[in-house]
Chain A
Amino acid sequence: MSESPWSRIGWRNVGRHPRRTILTALGLAVGYGAVVFIIGWANGFVAEMVENATGLMSGQIEIHDAEYRPERSIYDTLGGRDGVDFAALMDHIAEDERTVGVAPRVFAAGLVSSGEATTAGQLMGIDPARETGVTRFLEGLTEGRLPEPGRNEMAIGSEMARQLEVGLGDELVVVAPGADGSMGNDLYSVSGIYTTGLIELDATNAVLPLTDLQALVTLDPARIHEIVVATTDPFLADEAAADLAASLGADDLGMEVVSWAELNPTILEFSALMDSFYLIIYVFVFGIAIFGVANTMLMATYERRREIAVMLAMGAVPGAIVKSILYEAAAMGLLSLVIGVAISLPPMLWWYAAPADLSWLYGEMTLQGVLLRPVMRVTLDPASWAGAAVALFATALLAALYPAWRASRVPPADTLSGI
């Protein structure tokens, strides 16, 4: 291409008015940077939301009995009435390199009571060591420690502790209907109190060692309700879930392996909404830039109309004029891209490494039941950088089309005669 005189002419014209060229290129470069930043922030926000939604408690993948959802009945344990060798299942899941943690769970509904006060509780039987490798809700353990098996201990949410007016070591009565119809009841001491930040969770959630809860609600040791899995990246969960379902033979065992996207479709929809929003950002930002570029190109070609007239008089075809001006626009685009990358990527990388702390602006907040940290983070997304680069070139070329067409229609004789 560089052999073509038209591309050389186009390239040289970029350097004709360096100051004007730089200003125009800066316009495009800033547009590029704006798009890269806005999408980086928006993606960061979505990632934050997905990670918080899935990382706090629900995990990225859940495995249940096929009948378990949506009623979540105490009877619908994995493997049915006989239960399942869930330790073997978990070992198998841990072998998949996309998983970083796997934990068993038992759920029961019950009354938690202290003195005069009683509240309805969602009792969760966990393996504390495994659970903390999958979810973060127990990271908010502000007092005490996690309960140990066989010692009639439990940890409760801080709001529940407040409502029941209990502290560490205090006694709780728990009543829960058992799987055999009996009324399971026992005394426990508060070993720990945690705060997740989601008030409804802190008011209703209570954790017990898995085996202790099984004993309370008369479930055999092989019967659990859920295996929860954490993946390295939430957006790998869908394919990992499908692969695990196949390799575990989930259908034959009457189990379902579901990802967060299926369990929490509103978050997925929100993510899809943001994706379509990006298109609007492209259109707006480059839509503004295109008129500036078009104006510059129009001026540049008008100023050179005598030169263009000479080329046409000497036998250049109008198409060649159009070509040279489009080359000029492409060269301008390249320059803009270099500047754009130079001004946007270093701050992006810096921002990525050190997300802005906005806690001075607002504390933790919840959106659609998801707790968000007060940080503004960006994601590094090369696809969006490439997309913005394509949009930048398209803008430069589109902006040059009309000036190029005008230039190719310059009447040589009239122009050269000075009219």
Chain B
Amino acid sequence: MARNNDVRRRVAALVVLAGLATAGAAHAQPDPVEIMNRVQDLYRGESSHGEITMEIVTEHWSRSITMEMWSYGEDYTLARILAPAREEGTATLRADDDIWNYLPRVDRTIKVPASMMGGSWMGSHFTNDDLVQESRLVDDYDVEITFDGERDGMRVWEITLTPKPEAAVVWGRVEYTVRQADVLPVSVLYYDEDGEVARSMEFQEFERIGGRTMPRLMNMRPADKPEERTTMRYDDLEYDVGIDESFFSLRTLQSRRR
């Protein structure tokens, strides 16, 4: 299954590259939606399971959280804290548009209200919205290739996402930079509604993980506090682990061990 998926990915890459190859003659652009779908699917197979270390550095404190994470399709994610010990077992479940947090200390689950979706996720520079919205950028934004050429010695596409008129999104514009050779993301700039950069994400350490080449590190920095950052590192990731949506239940969320 894993192998099958990887083959599918490669075929998709070939299709994109072929599109690019013929672009010169026909002035046909590679399909930006296809590129975005590829980028989005990077950390997800049909399902995935992995371990992530999140390092958060703020002006006032810095801390490191290790989490076990599961995902299924576009709409389901479950993350459970393994360390530090004080917060072990604290877990987040995202199912469709909803997010629940499980608090082992008080053995209660609370649903994050809509008004708090823009709030920080586990104290990081990622928001609850990031968990929900990141998965369906193509649905909420119009996608366009705005640059096609060489940057920093690398052929890249710059893909600009502008919100569709009726989409309820937080960003005024999002710019992905994707390298053409393997259709992997390099960086993302998030613009606010005034057209100012609000935060930036960089992808680093391109390695083979779980049978795929992908960036091991994601580094998020808020623009107004350049000394702050959240770094998410994939310690381990495997795809198509044989779970389905039934796994992503409040019951799983509340079980202290998996």
Q: Tell me, yes or no, whether A binds B.
A: yes
CB of A352 closer than 8 Å to a CB of B = no
* Chain A 180-191 interface 0/1 with B at a Cβ cutoff of 8 Å (1 = within): 111101110000
Chain B positions within 8 Å of A113 at CB level: 108, 110-111
* Chain A 87-129 interface 0/1 with B at a Cβ cutoff of 8 Å (1 = within): 0000000000000000000000001010010111000000000
Q: Whose C-beta in chain A lies nearest to the C-beta of B105?
A: A185
Q: Which of A171-179, A305-313, A365-373 contacts B (4 or more CB under 8 A)?
A: A171-179
Q: How large is the interface on B (under 10, 10 to 19, 20 to 34, 35 or more residues)?
A: 20 to 34
Chain A positions within 8 Å of B56 at CB level: 181
- Docked-complex contact B90 and A173, CB < 8 angstroms: no
Given A118-B111, A120-B113, A177-B120, answer yes or no on A186-B106 (Cβ-Cβ < 8 Å): yes
CB of B192 closer than 8 Å to a CB of A = no
Chain B positions within 8 Å of A175 at CB level: 101, 103, 110
Main SS at interface, chain B: mixed
- Docked-complex contact B123 and A177, CB < 8 angstroms: yes
- Docked-complex contact B116 and A120, CB < 8 angstroms: yes
**Cα–Cα distance between A276 and B174 once the two chains are bound (Å):** 51
Q: Among B58, B62, B90, B105, which residue has its beta carbon within 8 angstroms of that of A186?
A: B105
Q: Whose C-beta in chain B lies nearest to the C-beta of A186?
A: B106
Q: Among B62, B110, B120, B122, which residue has its beta carbon within 8 angstroms of that of A173?
A: B110
- Docked-complex contact B122 and A119, CB < 8 angstroms: no
- Docked-complex contact A111 and B60, CB < 8 angstroms: no
- Docked-complex contact B113 and A119, CB < 8 angstroms: yes
- Docked-complex contact B108 and A120, CB < 8 angstroms: no
Chain B positions within 8 Å of A235 at CB level: none
- Docked-complex contact B108 and A75, CB < 8 angstroms: no
Q: Among B106, B112, B116, B123, which residue has its beta carbon within 8 angstroms of that of A185?
A: B106
Nearest CB of chain A from residue B24's CB, rounded to whole Å: 51
Chain B positions within 8 Å of A173 at CB level: 103, 106, 108, 110
Chain B positions within 8 Å of A119 at CB level: 113, 115
**Cα–Cα distance between A177 and B101 once the two chains are bound (Å):** 13
**Cα–Cα distance between A340 and B205 once the two chains are bound (Å):** 89
**Cα–Cα distance between A74 and B206 once the two chains are bound (Å):** 38
CB of B257 closer than 8 Å to a CB of A = no
Nearest CB of chain B from residue A243's CB, rounded to whole Å: 33
Nearest CB of chain A from residue B249's CB, rounded to whole Å: 15
Chain A positions within 8 Å of B112 at CB level: 111, 118
Chain B positions within 8 Å of A187 at CB level: 106, 108
CB of B3 closer than 8 Å to a CB of A = no
- Docked-complex contact A181 and B123, CB < 8 angstroms: yes
Tell me the residues in window 89-143 of chain B with beta carbons closer than 8 Å to chain A beta carbons: 90, 101, 103, 105-106, 108, 110-113, 115-116, 120, 122-123
Given A173-B110, A179-B60, A180-B61, answer yes or no on A120-B115 (Cβ-Cβ < 8 Å): yes
User: By CB atoms of chain A within 10 A, which of B59, B63, B101 has the most?
Assistant: B101
Chain A positions within 8 Å of B62 at CB level: 181
Given A113-B108, A118-B112, answer yes or no on A185-B103 (Cβ-Cβ < 8 Å): yes
* Chain B 176-214 interface 0/1 with A at a Cβ cutoff of 8 Å (1 = within): 000000000000000000000000000000000000000
Listed A/B pairs (12) with beta-carbon separation below 8 Å: A75-B60, A113-B108, A113-B111, A118-B111, A118-B116, A119-B115, A173-B103, A177-B123, A179-B60, A180-B61, A181-B123, A187-B106
**Other A-B pairs, 16, CB within 8 Å; known A118-B112, A175-B103, A182-B87:** A75-B59, A111-B112, A111-B113, A113-B108, A118-B111, A118-B116, A120-B115, A173-B103, A173-B106, A175-B110, A177-B120, A177-B123, A179-B61, A181-B58, A182-B123, A183-B122
Q: Which A residues contact B (CB, under 8 angstroms)?
A: 75, 111, 113, 116, 118-120, 173, 175, 177, 179-183, 185-187
**What 4 A-B pairs are tightest by C-beta distance, nearest first?**
A113-B110, A181-B61, A185-B103, A173-B108
